[in-house]
């Protein structure tokens, strides 16, 4: 089965410090990986995606993610955390399903940035 | 316009009621989705419409009935729901091609409570 895993339910980081939210994947063939963020009582917002090419992907709001094929990881990073980054973060993979594509999400990681 | 609009934002219904959730987008997207999300859990795919035809049904109970009247609208008809169906229902859309790099655009969701 093709899936993503987020090993941490919650990550706490001090404002101004670098942050990392972890994601590992299990995909046969080429992985198509995404990060989404969800603020309270809102839908999910796209942050960035990896399809092919450069292993370092830059996205919205200063976030970036590093694709590592040997470690099957796609960790989300930001050099300097803001209190407003506090939210729920989902890693996702797009997989084929009967000729169509569907997106499967990881279990989510709550990021808490402490002032 | 890069929004997906969902109405109502909140809905409380009894187990014998019939209600409908509505979703609208004007981005010209040809794929539309319904997801169900329990608190602090990832969204779970329910249905996918591609070019106004139902392409994926994730074995959803028949008390949930999707409808796609045209390329901009997506409905979810609810009948005889159970309390365990209480959740945040998210609508999403994407361009609708077969490409792997499509990102999803989400609405803010309908928070459903079944009494």
- Would the CB atoms of B103 and A34 count as touching at under 8 Å? yes
More confident residue, A52 or B105: B105
- Would the CB atoms of A42 and B41 count as touching at under 8 Å? no
How crowded is residue B52: how many other Cβ atoms within 10 Å of its Cβ?
16
- Would the CB atoms of B103 and A49 count as touching at under 8 Å? yes
What's the burial of B86, exposed, middle or buried (CB within 10 Å: 0-12/13-18/19+)? middle
| A interface test, pick of B25, B42, B57 with most A CB neighbours within 10 Å | B42
How crowded is residue A3: how many other Cβ atoms within 10 Å of its Cβ?
13
Q: What would the pLDDT profile of A10-27 be if each residue is shown by its tens digit?
A: 999 999 999 999 999 998
Report the pLDDT value the prediction gives residue A78, as an integer from 0 to 100.
98
Chain B CB contacts of A33 under 8 Å are none
pLDDT in tens, chain B (115 residues): 669 999 999 999 999 899 999 999 999 999 999 999 998 899 999 999 989 999 889 999 999 999 999 999 999 999 999 999 999 999 999 887 655 568 899 999 999 999 9
Report the pLDDT value the prediction gives residue A41, as an integer from 0 to 100.
79
For A44-48, A91-95, B7-11, B44-48, which range has the lowest pLDDT when averaged over its residues? A91-95
Report the pLDDT value the prediction gives residue A61, as an integer from 0 to 100.
92
Chain B CB contacts of A90 under 8 Å are 42-43
How crowded is residue B72: how many other Cβ atoms within 10 Å of its Cβ?
16
**Which residues, numbered 28 to 87 in chain A, qualify as contacts with chain B under a Cβ-Cβ cut-off of 8 Å?**
30, 32, 34, 36, 41-46, 49, 51
CA closest to B107 among chain A residues = A43
| A interface test, pick of B35, B43, B111, B113 with most A CB neighbours within 10 Å | B43
Report the pLDDT value the prediction gives residue B100, as an integer from 0 to 100.
55
Q: What is the mean pLDDT of chain A?
A: 91
CA angle A23, A26, A30 (to 5 degrees): 105
- Under a CB-based contact definition with an 8 Å cutoff, are residues B68 and B52 in contact? yes
- Would the CB atoms of B108 and A42 count as touching at under 8 Å? yes
Q: Which of A32, A97, A102 is facing B101, going by the closest CB pair? A: A32
What is the rounded average pLDDT of the residues A83-104?
84
- Would the CB atoms of B45 and A102 count as touching at under 8 Å? yes
């Amino acid at each position: 089965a093709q899936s993503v895993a987020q090993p941490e339910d919650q990550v706490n980081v001090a404002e101004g410090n670098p942050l990392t939210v972890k994601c590992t994947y299990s995909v046969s063939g080429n992985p198509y990986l995404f990060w989404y963020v969800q603020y309270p009582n809102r839908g999910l917002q796209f942050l960035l995606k990896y399809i092919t090419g450069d292993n370092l992907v830059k996205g919205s709001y200063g976030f970036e993610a590093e694709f590592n094929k040997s470690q099957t990881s796609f960790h989300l990073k930001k050099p300097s955390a803001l209190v407003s980054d506090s939210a729920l973060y989902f890693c996702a993979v797009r997989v084929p399903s009967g000729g169509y594509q569907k997106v499967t999400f990881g279990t989510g990681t709550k990021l808490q940035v402490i002032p | 316009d890069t929004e997906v609009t969902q109405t109502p934002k909140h809905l409380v219904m009894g187990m014998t009621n019939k209600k409908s959730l509505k979703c609208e987008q004007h981005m010209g997207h040809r794929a539309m989705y319904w997801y169900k999300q329990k608190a602090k859990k990832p969204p779970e795919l329910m249905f996918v419409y591609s070019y106004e035809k139902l392409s994926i049904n994730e074995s959803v109970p028949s008390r949930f009935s999707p409808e796609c009247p045209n390329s901009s609208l997506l409905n979810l008809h609810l009948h005889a729901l159970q309390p365990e169906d209480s959740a945040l229902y998210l609508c999403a859309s994407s361009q609708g091609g077969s490409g792997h790099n499509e990102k999803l655009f989400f609405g803010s969701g309908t928070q459903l409570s079944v009494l």
